[in-house]
Structure formats: structure tokens, C-alpha cells
Structure 1
Amino acid sequence: MKPIFEAYPEAAENLNRFAVWLAGAGVERGFLGPREVDRIWDRHIANCAVVEEFIPENSKVFDIGSGAGLPGVVLAIVRPDIQIGLIEPLMRRSQFLEEVITDLGITDRVKVIRARAEELKELSAPVVTARAVAPLGKLLTWALPLTSKGGQILAMKGSSAATEIADAADVLKSRKVEILQCGRGLVDPQTTVVRITA
């Protein structure tokens, strides 16, 4: 049994279904490279699932640049208490996300928002997530306006986290910034998240 199933047993069925989507239509439509199929669980699904530990109960979440649904769809699967808006400007990716959330039966709490994040000035949420969207400085110009006062941005970053924070110093100014690790025992290496308090 995969460690991620032990951590989220009630989510196992939908995680498996989502993995099938990623390995099939996700690769066919060019959202994931064919070489990623063997790494779907460790590098993509488990890597995204463990970020849920930073999301407060019953939160509203926006996922910027959802693409193939990473991390937004995975977070929705492992955290049935949260509402998620998947922000994705490209039509073909938005259509894929609509198909996925319909198949997984989670349309009651997951919505696809076909728009650029910077166009959504009237919306806000206490948690904003992003993975592989843009360098931190650029990402923050989109994410900060969407984040409720006192809320948090959870940017999934790898070994470049410290460098990206330094490069984004002008945008960050006096905000609280933390580099966090999550997923001990579930993913190796652990997932790196830059958390910025809005």
C-alpha cells in the first residue's frame, strides 16, 4: 500500500482515479510529459497532498494556474472540508479540469474559474496555493490581491525557495515569510512550501 493511502484512506479511490486521468488524458493532451507517468504518485500526487497540513479547517482556497489540477484537485480530494477555486486561463486546461472534477464527483465544492489571476480583483480567499506557475516575485503580484487580510499564500517551491525569496524582496517588504517542509514519511524529499502571510 502506498504511504499516501495510509495517510488519507478515505481519499484512495479518488486519488487513484485522478492518477488515471493524469497518466491518460493528462499526457495525451500535453499537460504532463510521458516520462512523468512513473513519477505521478511521488512527484505529483503525494507531493501536493501533503501541503494540506497548512490549510485551516473549512477554508476557502484559490489555486492559481491549476493546469492539470496540481495541487488544487489533489487538495480537494484529501480535504473534503475545503472549497477550492481552480484558476486557469487556458481553455483546454479548464476543460480538462471540468471533466476531472465532474468524474470525481466534487463539483459541489470545487469550481473551475477560467481567468487570469490578475483579472479577479473582486475575489479573495484566506488561502491561495500555486505550484510551478512563476518565480515568487511574479506570483505574488497575482496572489496577494486574491489573499484575504491575514490569509496565507502557499507557494510550492523546490531548492530555489531561498533564492526566489531574496529576488522577491521588493514585493515581500515586511511580510512574514517562512520556508516550510511537509510530508515527512510520505514523500522523499519532503515538499518545500514558501508561506507568505498577507
Structure 2
Amino acid sequence: MTDETFDMTPPAAPSGAAAVFADRMPSATRFVEILADTGVTHGLIGPREVPRLWERHVLNCAVIEDAFPVGAKLVDVGSGAGLPGIALGIARPDLDIHLVEPMQRRTDWLSSKVSELGLDNVTVHRGRAEELVGVLSAPWVTARAVARIAKLARWCVPLLDGRGTVVAMKGRSAQEELDADRRELNKLGLVADAITAHGSAVLDEPTLTLDLTFQPKTRVAKGKKKR
């Protein structure tokens, strides 16, 4: 039995990356280099993923930037290796991005890389999403490959600031998950949904997001009745 070896050389940027990152390409390239190095040694990225860091991870995440309006505040739940949060922070310096991650070693890594990349628009929070309810909120919440949509929504909806939208990165199973979990989503206050493809011009396979808008239900104080 032999040990499997992997090529840890950071991949070259694909031609479409410049269209997404523009003058911030040096920061995007540096982020890919970081992921190929300490991202792997810290267990945030599998070594097999290094050759496809651009297409499957960094660019794949950055293209969802068109889901958010100018100056939007958003929370990235379960940020892990900063995907999609750091990729979005590089592509869109106007966004106010908050990374939520429960593991100390991961938040330490995220904080150091946010500082190294000079991302003044990105803030790291240690804790589970449910622990930050009442502490952190935003009109937009995003997540990537964290859980099925009903479970993810239970974590994300309480972080929404009033009527807000969860932008969940999903694969080809997006419609299937939405159909299967719609009843639970409706209980959480789902009022609108869409499946959106991002990055068709720069990716061979566009990134799909489930865009779910929720209207929190009004709570009635004890002893009072709604009129």
C-alpha cells in the first residue's frame, strides 16, 4: 500500500475570472494560493480539490455576487474556508459581509486571512447561527453546502432582518429539495422562491442558488389579540 500524493500547486486563473474580480484579481489569486496551502493543511479544503480551486470553489462562489444589491449586508452561515464569504468580499468591496463559523481554529484562520487580504468589508464571528440570533442580523443570508434547505432555513431565517432572503448555494438537486421541503419552508414564513443560475458566461456549469424570501410571522403578546 502506497501513500497517495497530490499536486499542491495553485492552479492558474481561468480566463473568466478577470471579468468577475476585475482590479481585485491579485487578491483573488492570493486567496487561491492560501487555499492551496493552509486551506489544505488546516483541513478546510481537500487536497484533491486544489487543481479545481478556481472553477469549483472561488469563482463558483464569487459569481453569486449578482444576487445582492449595492451596499447590502449579508451573513455567510458555516463559512468554513471563507466560501462564499471571502470570495464575495473580494469581488464586491461594497458588501458588508459577516462570516459565521462555530469552530475556533477555523475562525482564527478566517480572521488571519481576512486581515492578510485587507478585506475591511468582512467580519468574522465565532458561534453557531442559532447562538447569534438577536446579536447578528441582515436582510440577506447565504450558505454553501451546509445542509438540506429546510434544515438550513431553520438556522438562517432567525438571522434575517425583517423580510429578507436566504441565498443558498445548491447543485442540480435544488428544485428537488425545494419541492420536498416546501411545506416546512412555508411554516417558516416563505413568501417567494426562485432558482437562479449565476456565472453562465464564465463557468462551464453555472452556479445554482435557491433564493428564498421569508416574512417573519408577527408574534402576539400574551393577553392581547390581533385585530
Do the structures match in fold with TM over 0.5? yes
CA offsets, 1:87-145, max 9 Å, x none?
00011111110111010011x32111001001111121011010011111100001011
Partner residue in 2 for 1:77:
90
1:111 is aligned, of 123, 126, 148, to: 123
What RMSD over aligned residues (CA atoms) do the two structures have, in Å?
A: 1.1
2:24 is aligned, of 3, 8, 11, to: 11
**Structure of greater relative contact order (alpha carbons < 8 Å, 6+ residues apart):** 1
The TM-score, its normalising length taken from structure 2, stands at: 0.84
Aligned with 1:176: secondary structure? strand
1:66 is aligned, of 65, 79, 98, to: 79
Partner residue in 2 for 1:197:
213
Aligned pairs, number: 197
CA offsets, 1:21-77, max 9 Å, x none?
100001111111111000000000111011000101101110000000000000000
Q: Say yes or no: does 1:48 pair with 2:61.
A: yes
Unaligned stretches of 5+ residues in structure 2: 1-13, 215-227
> In the alignment, is the contact (CA less than 8 A) between 2:21 and 2:90 conserved in 1?
no
1:32 is aligned, of 22, 25, 45, to: 45
Unaligned stretches of 5+ residues in structure 1: none
Give 1:132-147 correspondences, 5 Å limit. 132-147=145-160
* Structure-2 separation of matches of 1:171 and 1:140: 9
2:202 is aligned, of 182, 186, 193, to: 186
Q: Say yes or no: does 1:127 pair with 2:165.
A: no
- Larger relative helix fraction: 1
The TM-score, its normalising length taken from structure 1, stands at: 0.96
Partner residue in 1 for 2:224:
none
1:175 is aligned, of 191, 194, 204, to: 191
Structure with bigger gyration radius: 2
CA offsets, 1:144-163, max 9 Å, x none?
11112232110000011112
Partner residue in 2 for 1:157:
170
Runs (4 or more) in structure 1 with deviation over 4 Å come to none
The residue type paired with residue 89 of structure 2 is A
Cα deviation, residue 172, structure 1: 1.5
The residue type paired with residue 200 of structure 2 is R
